[in-house]
Amino acid sequence: MKPIIEVQNLGKSYVVQKPGDRWAGDLSDAAAQVLRRLLKGQIFRKEVRERFWALRDVSFQVFPGEVVALAGHNGAGKSTLLKVLCRITAPNAGSALIRGRIGSLLEVGTGFHADLTGRENTYLSGTILGMSRREVNARFDEIVAFAEMESFIDEKVKRYSSGMYMRLAFSVAAHLSTEVLLVDEALAVGDVNFQRKCMGKMGQIAGQGRTVLFVSHNASAMRNLCTRGILLDHGRVIQDGDIETIVQAYLTYGSKGEQNADWTNSTDSFCHPAFQPLSLRLSYKDPLTETPDFQSEMTVCLEGAIEIPDPDLNVGISITTPEGNEIFRSFLRDTPTLADKKFSKGKHSFRIPLPVRLLNEGDYRIEIVAHNTKAWFLEPGKGNPSIPFSIQGGFGITPYWLERRPGVIAPELTWSISD
């Protein structure tokens, strides 16, 4: 079987405009530049222009029926690749061959006009996206039914609610019948219900044996829809493989370093006879290759030294947002068996497993706190030893959540039904 998409050494660069470039600015600037060069006798000198490569040496093949995720952080070149493949912009180097017709869904409502009716917009948008009039005719009822728009289809689009507008616009796009579909995740907009419906439809399209290239930031969506992934960074293909490998690589890529920021008391600071923190570290399964998701088992490891034992010493941790808003605290004396524990002089290690399925996707800090019954030794929010950590992806055990849940925390509660 021949690949349906063959991309060879594709490159796309943009000229970095500087004042004084020949073609920078408006027409009079350009004329003034030409005149200046003419006077200096430099008109024929080749201009050295700085180029920024948004895509460089990108090569890959996609076979019919594959659903491929294009992953990468912002600026990695995903959108540029889609734009080149659907011919919105031309490449500067390399080539691509697509053995079939190509449809692109880069936004919802391409070609929609507020002053036209739903019916008129359906035909217009469908035709702009590449359907023939006959194809729109044949699918019209399906499109309207999917959008649940039967009674409003002859109403002007500007009288629609934004939800209705997007339902219709997505429905038109989702009924394209090209062999290859290029989809930007930005397509799935609107409220959560509508996004789920969009993603469901995308899954259905993917299941029909059509070839789909899917650009996404969303690990769950990629896992649910795609079988294979291509990871891009700085315009180049970094990795190409099965979807699980790529999603893992995507989630860890560029976020190491920060993740393993352990804290050790190398300068002998925070010195207090009752308790001096020595180190703080977060351990979880295979920290080198994995960013914790919301069900990762993480353990806070804390070391401290006691010079003069204080019977009322209490050590704790505080989890905050990066801005310093406290989410919760936990103390040594919370644990019943340790409630009356007496510490001896010397070094002590504490291990605190964090609850799983509690923290939402996002960035956090762990901070060491300590006090006795009279005073704080390490008062929360006062520049205590702390380390950052992030939780990425895994929004739930069921596939219901495709995006970060609203709210600070995302505890998994168990529902039951008693009829």
Partner 1 sequence: MTNDRNLVAPSPPPEASWIHIDGDGQRLTEVASEFWKARELLWLLILRHLKIRFAQTAMGAMWVVLQPLTTALIFSVLFGVFVKVPSEGIPYVAYAYPAMVVWSLFSQAFERGSSSLMAEERLITKVYFPRLVIPFAASFSALVDFAISTLLLVPISLFFGIRPGFGVFASVMAIPPIMILATSFGILTSCLSVRYRDLRTAAPFATQIWFYATPVVFPLAVVPQNLRVWVLLNPVSAPVLWFRASFIGTSFPPIWSLASSYGISLVIFSLAVVIFRRVERGMADWL
Residues at the contact surface with partner 1, assessed by CB under 8 A:
10, 14, 26-28, 30, 64-65, 83-102, 104, 106-107, 110-111, 113, 115-116, 120, 123-124, 127-130, 132-133, 141-142, 145, 177, 179, 204, 207-210
Task: Looking at 20-110, list the stretches that DSSP marks H as alpha helix, in order from N- to C-terminal side.
Answer: 27-40, 78-85
Q: Residue 1 CB, nearest distance to partner 1 (Å)?
A: 10
SS3 186: helix
81 CB contacts (<8 Å, ≥6 apart)? Answer: 10, 55, 58, 70, 232
Closer residue to partner 1 in complex, CB, 115/150:
115
**Spatial distance between the Cα atoms of 285 and 248, rounded to a whole number of angstroms:** 14
Angle at CA of residue 85, ends 82 and 86, nearest 5°: 85
Q: Residue 36 CB, nearest distance to partner 1 (Å)?
A: 18
Closer residue to partner 1 in complex, CB, 52/328:
52
Residues 226 and 69 sit within 8 Å (Cβ to Cβ): yes
Percentages helix, strand, coil for the chain (3-state, rounded to 5) are 25, 30, 45
Q: Which amino acid is at 46?
A: K
Closer residue to partner 1 in complex, CB, 205/302:
205
Q: Residue 128 CB, nearest distance to partner 1 (Å)?
A: 6
Closer residue to partner 1 in complex, CB, 126/292:
126
Closer residue to partner 1 in complex, CB, 123/250:
123
Task: Looking at 160-275, list the stretches that DSSP marks H as alpha helix, in order from N- to C-terminal side.
Answer: 162-174, 192-206, 219-225, 243-252
**DSSP class of 405:** P
Q: Residue 12 CB, nearest distance to partner 1 (Å)?
A: 9
Q: Residue 142 CB, nearest distance to partner 1 (Å)?
A: 6
Q: Tokens representing 272? A: 């207090």
Q: Residue 402 CB, nearest distance to partner 1 (Å)?
A: 22
**Spatial distance between the Cα atoms of 155 and 163, rounded to a whole number of angstroms:** 15
Residue 156 backbone zone (phi > 0: left; psi -120 to 50: alpha; other: beta):
beta
Closer residue to partner 1 in complex, CB, 98/369:
98
Closer residue to partner 1 in complex, CB, 21/290:
21
Tell me which residue of 412, 407, 416 sits closest to 394, measured CA to CA: 412
Q: Residue 101 CB, nearest distance to partner 1 (Å)?
A: 5
Q: Tokens representing 62? A: 């996609």
